[in-house]
Amino acid sequence: MILGLFPELSAAGGVQRAGRLTAAVLASFAGGRGERCVFLSLNDQAGTTPLRVGSQEIVFTGFSRSKKRFLSAALRAAFKGPSLAIAFHPYLAPVLAAVKICAQRTRTITFAHGVEVWTPLAPLRQWSLRRSDLVLAPSADTVLRLTAQQGIPEQRVRKLAWSLGPEFNPDVTSWAAPCMPFAFPHGRIVLTVGRWDAAEAYKGIDHLIMALPSLLDDVPDVHLVAIGHGSDLPRLVQLVHQCGVVGRVHFHSFLYPEELWSAYDFCDVFALPSRGEGFGLVFLEAMAHAKPVIGGAHGGTPEVVEDGVNGYLVQHGDVGQLVDRLRRLLTNQSLRCEMGTRGRERVLKYFTFDRFSGEFKALLQTLLAS
């Protein structure tokens, strides 16, 4: 048996999407070994839920944020002696450590994502993280922070970059949508996608709003479309009024997947000038649609966005620099096309699901054989 411990699987968000990719590969790997998978999700609604990832169906059990019942289920699974157990977030490392105590021959992996390991974890979490046989991170930046901030030995940390999902077909030259998304504005569109929580104000959507007034002279039809929701929305709406750009900023709290793909197709530039991204799956999605991207020159983003090649990197908080890069792209269609094409080529070369699946399975085979 392979045991997977996840914070959440069914919701939107980069960690959740990466979790679904990981669960799909684990299910495929287990099937090849004649094993079964048990997937437990702390924050999903209680009960057993099927979930489709590409052509594959995974099944998991949610616990509606009940830590007690989640831990109890993990320990029951541990007593069955799983060959492998994974925790898909450092905050779940203590549960994985408890599994290891109950099943000492079980090999363990913890996934780290980014900002949560940029400063030392609480003592129990850090001790538990160090107990993992292997710690995986999506970028070289996060690998370095795991060794420097958490004291994980270099030989027990590996980089495993995320990818697009299996539904992405590299043989299709375009994901062109048949029609514009509902309530999508006309004009030149800057798109951003994220979770707008007060605790994640580092995403930089406020800087995109602040950049709009300076763009209007050169790009009079510019609009910002922000897809996502969270506790920071009231402050952002207030900022829209303060900047005098009412009617230029369009918040969409939820879009169905096909509507999101359309949003990528009909935007001109994708931007997320964040200082706290461990990787940034949304950049891959925009690049797959051949769109130029703007990201923060921090964290794992520079490993996805090549400055001046498939987009631009900006310093977080430098609104003047952000305005300059947006203006360059929005006023130059040939530049947008060139950068978008190079971005899609980069996705096809480095960030396909086949690449992710192959690398992950090779790591699993090596760990179980050791």
CATH number at residue 112: 3.40.50.2000
Q: Burial, 230: exposed, middle or buried (Cβ in 10 Å; 0-12, 13-18, 19+)?
A: middle
Q: What pLDDT shows up at residue 174?
A: 52
321/359 same-domain check: no
244/330 same-domain check: yes
Q: What is the pLDDT of residues 135-155, one digit of tens each?
A: 999 999 999 999 999 999 999
Is 271 part of any domain?
yes
List, in order, residues 6 or more apart from 309 with CB less than 8 Å away.
339, 342
- How many whole angstroms separate alpha carbon 177 and alpha carbon 164? 18
143/289 same-domain check: no
Number of H helices, E strands in the chain: 12, 14
Q: Which domain holds residue 284?
A: 188-350
Buried b (16+ CB within 10 A) or exposed e, 58-86: bebbbbeeeeeebbebbeebbeeebbbbb
- How many whole angstroms separate alpha carbon 110 and alpha carbon 100? 12
Q: What is the pLDDT of residues 211-249, one digit of tens each?
A: 999 999 999 999 999 999 889 999 999 999 999 999 999
279/364 same-domain check: no
Nearest by Cα to 231 from 196, 203, 194: 196
- How many whole angstroms separate alpha carbon 141 and alpha carbon 151? 15
Give the chain's domain count.
2
Please give the model's pTM, rounded to 2 decimal places.
Answer: 0.92
Q: What pLDDT shows up at residue 180?
A: 66
Provide the pLDDT confidence category of residue 95 given band limits of 50, 70 and 90: very high
DSSP state of 302: G
214/111 same-domain check: no
Phi, psi torsion values for 245, nearest 5 degrees: -120, 30
359/342 same-domain check: no
120/258 same-domain check: no
